[in-house]
């Protein structure tokens, strides 16, 4: 069967539910391509278009600047890598979805991946656990210091945080909507706890940077937690009680 025939068959199956709205099969297929496939391609290209420049910016003088202090290295650079990985994973997912609508092999591969993810990654626990292990590993002082002084180790650390961003995307896609809203709050508390530890410890953990920069990094982590709480918590409460109120009024 040709690629065009595959495309028509897949789109036809997807648009059967639209035909009762008064559209012909051909009109429904055209609507589906315009309203579902093309927007998915657009979102994928935009996400990757932002993610790759973030990643490649680390090869410019900006990357050297971000390595100059513990705060910039541990927070700004790593966050940039995680965001890049998340955007690239999201964009790739959108493109694979669009491809699965026009190619039967891609559809089969995507279906197999979704089934495997659903079976092995309940509620994203596996991918979140892997991401957490990777983050903790590179924040162990000996490993972090080795990455600063050794170029190949530094590249390995960068690649790991890029993967972390992808794992976070995969894990987040498995969470229920309400849990998705709570997850950033939990992440913020972990950041805050680590920040407090850096603020109060008297040990010079990351010897490649001045001791004073540990407290600076810790303070930034705590501030990040407070900012996340002050923005996400009110929004979450509004959505929670707003949805709850609409449900009560409708029953």
The predicted structure's pLDDT at residue 219: 96
Instruction: Give the pTM.
Output: 0.81
The predicted structure's pLDDT at residue 19: 53
CB 158 within 8 A of CB 58: yes
> Among candidates 1, 245, 4, which has minimal Cα distance to 102?
4
The predicted structure's pLDDT at residue 130: 95
Cα dihedral 185, 186, 190, 193 in deg (nearest 10): 70
- pLDDT tens, residue order, the chain (251 aa): 455 555 555 555 555 555 556 666 676 677 777 778 888 999 999 999 999 998 888 888 888 899 999 999 999 999 999 999 999 999 999 999 999 888 889 989 999 988 988 888 888 889 999 999 999 999 999 999 999 999 999 999 999 999 999 999 999 888 877 777 778 888 889 999 999 999 999 999 999 999 999 999 999 999 999 998 888 778 777 766 765 444 333 33
CB 72 within 8 A of CB 66: yes
The predicted structure's pLDDT at residue 101: 83
Calculate the CA 221 to chain-centre distance. Answer: 19
- Where does residue 22 fall: left (phi above 0), alpha (psi -120 to 50 degrees), or beta otherwise? left
The predicted structure's pLDDT at residue 250: 38
**In the chain, what are the domain boundaries?**
1-123, 176-251
In the chain, what are the helix, strand and coil shares in percent, each to the nearest 5? 85, 0, 15
Q: How far apart are CA 125 and CA 186, in angstroms?
A: 14
The predicted structure's pLDDT at residue 8: 53
């Amino acid at each position: 069967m040709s690629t065009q025939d595959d495309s028509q068959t897949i789109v036809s199956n997807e648009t059967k539910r639209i035909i009762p709205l008064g559209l012909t099969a051909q009109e429904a297929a055209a609507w589906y391509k315009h309203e579902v496939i093309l927007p998915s391609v657009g979102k994928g290209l935009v996400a990757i278009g932002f993610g790759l420049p973030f990643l490649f910016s680390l090869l410019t003088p900006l990357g050297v600047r971000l390595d100059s202090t513990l705060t910039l290295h541990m927070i700004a650079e790593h966050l940039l890598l995680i965001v890049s990985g998340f955007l690239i994973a999201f964009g790739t997912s959108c493109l694979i979805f669009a491809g699965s609508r026009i190619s039967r092999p891609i559809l089969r591969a995507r279906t197999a991946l979704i089934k495997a993810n659903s079976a092995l990654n309940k509620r994203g626990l596996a991918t979140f656990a892997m991401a957490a292990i990777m983050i903790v590993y590179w924040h162990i002082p000996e490993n972090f210091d080795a990455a600063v002084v050794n170029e190949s180790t530094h590249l390995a650390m960068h690649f790991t945080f890029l993967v972390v961003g992808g794992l976070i995307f995969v894990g987040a896609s498995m969470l229920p909507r309400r849990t998705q809203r709570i997850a950033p709050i939990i992440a913020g508390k972990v950041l805050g706890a680590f920040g407090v530890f850096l603020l109060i410890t008297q040990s010079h953990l990351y010897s490649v940077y001045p001791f004073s920069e540990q407290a600076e990094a810790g303070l930034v982590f705590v501030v990040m937690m407070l900012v996340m709480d002050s923005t996400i918590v009110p929004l979450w409460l509004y959505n929670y009680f707003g949805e709850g109120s609409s449900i009560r009024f409708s029953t």
